[in-house]
Amino acid sequence: MFSGAHVILYSTDADADRAFLKDVLGFDHVDAGHGWLIFELPPAEVAVHPTQGAPKHELYLMCDDIAGTLATLRDRGVETSEPSDQGWGLLATMRMPSGSELSLYEPLHPTAHGSSP
């Protein structure tokens, strides 16, 4: 029934963040016209968590080796946090040129797209 999912990141510096996704993270992309880049993402999954507050959405990029991924990102000049063990995974963040952060985690639980630890 569904052919994919489309994620939107709102940015105060969209051109710089698009260049970051293209040149630093190396995501393949198409130009939808006039430099409006749409990026291919790795396989994805969605989870629904309960909340007592207002509903919200979050994006986490997943990896199999957070230490190696963070080292590669730092070699490319990306500012990252140190990973922390959340029980469900090892979590870190990377800062995009606009100043917003993307979350990155190495799951410590089975994943829906087949790369279980």
Q: Render pLDDT for 41-74 as a digit per residue (tens, 0 to 9).
A: 998 889 999 999 999 889 999 999 999 999 999 9
The answer as to whether 4 is a domain residue is: no
> In the structure encoding, which two tokens stand for residue 1, read together?
């029934």
Q: Render pLDDT for 1-16 as a digit per residue (tens, 0 to 9).
A: 888 889 999 999 999 9
CB 95 within 8 A of CB 13: no
70: CATH: 3.10.180.10
Q: What is the extent of the structural domain holding 62?
A: 14-107
CB 108 within 8 A of CB 88: yes
Q: How many structural domains is the chain composed of?
A: 1
Contact residues for 103 (Cβ-Cβ < 8 A; gap 6+): 58, 59, 60, 61, 91, 92, 93
The answer as to whether 41 is a domain residue is: yes
Question: For residue 65, how far is the Cα from the chain centroid?
Answer: 14
How many other CB atoms are there within 10 angstroms of residue 94's CB atom? 21
Question: For residue 27, how far is the Cα from the chain centroid?
Answer: 11
Query: 14 by DSSP, 3-state: which?
Result: helix
pLDDT at 62: 94
The answer as to whether 6 is a domain residue is: no
The answer as to whether 112 is a domain residue is: no
